[in-house]
Structure 1
Amino acid sequence: MMAKKYSNKINKIRSFALALIFVGFIIMYAGIFFRGNPIVMLIFIILGMLSLVFSMVVYFWIGLLSTRAVVVNCPNCDKPTKILGRVDMCMHCREPLTLDPELEGKEFDEDYNKKSRQTKQT
């Protein structure tokens, strides 16, 4: 069984927004195949534009989150990285990071960021 691949939360959300841009363009280009039917072509173009607009909203939202993220220097690569939540990964070297002293030394698990997991531990 392959190990789960973790990455920084900010980078995950940015990658999702970038994927939305490409999906939007692909949907709009698919509309070209329906040039004979303008209504269907218009529907594809509108769906593609909605994907692009949603991508812009996601980028704006992650930008706001990024301004509130805690910036720390990674102990492994000594580069500044942003942490969202109780646990996160370094943006550069994927070192597990936490600001919670209770989690230091424990194996990395993204479930530590979930509210249900926090209430069970206390």
Structure 2
Amino acid sequence: MARKYSSKINKIRTFALSLVFIGFFVMYIGIFFQGNMLVMTLFMLLGLLCIVGSTVVYFWIGMLSTKAVQVVCPNCGKHTKVLGRVDMCMYCNEPLTMDPSLEGKEFNEDYNSKKKADRI
């Protein structure tokens, strides 16, 4: 079965965006408990925590993105950022690596983890 890969930056941004929607959904559930102020407040606070968590994740990935190496994708010619030893192009999902020893090898996200890469 083929796995769907995407760039690490896009994965983290998608997670942060989903936290926003989860937060709104949790808050919306709280509306159904208007009779019980404690439960409604609990849902509202949980939703708020999800949204604040999303803000923290967006800030973190923004800081991480400034440290990423910017390269030109050989497939689509667009500028993309590479985090770690291997990553995917943000636009065309072309496997990219900054490690010359990995050139020509099949793409595997485990190359970014030293423990897993030693077993491969």
What range is the shorter-chain TM-score in? over 0.9
Map Cα deviations across residues 47-69 of structure 1 (whole Å, 9 max, x no partner).
Answer: 00000000000000000000000
Deviation at 1:115, TM superposition (A): 2.0
- Please report the TM-score for the alignment, with normalisation by the length of structure 2: 0.97
Task: Compute the RMSD of aligned alpha carbons.
Answer: 0.9
Q: Provide the aligned length of Structure 1 versus Structure 2.
A: 119
Where does 1:5-44 land on structure 2 (aligned, <5 Å)? Answer: 5-44=4-43
Distance 2:47 2:116 in 1: 38
Where does 1:20-99 land on structure 2 (aligned, <5 Å)? Answer: 20-99=19-98
- Structure 1 residue runs of 4 or more that deviate by more than 6 Å after TM superposition: none
Map Cα deviations across residues 70-105 of structure 1 (whole Å, 9 max, x no partner).
Answer: 000000000000000000000000000001000000
Distance 2:29 2:114 in 1: 41
Distance 1:64 1:74 in 2: 22
Deviation at 1:117, TM superposition (A): 3.1
- Please report the TM-score for the alignment, with normalisation by the length of structure 1: 0.95
**Percent identity of equivalent pairs:** 67
Q: Which residue does the alignment assign to 2:112? A: 113
Q: Which residue does the alignment assign to 1:104? A: 103
For structure 1, the residue ranges without an aligned partner over 5 or more in a row are: none
Query: Structure 1 counterpart of 2:56, which letter?
Result: V
Distance 2:77 2:2 in 1: 26
SS of 2:96's equivalent in the other structure is: strand
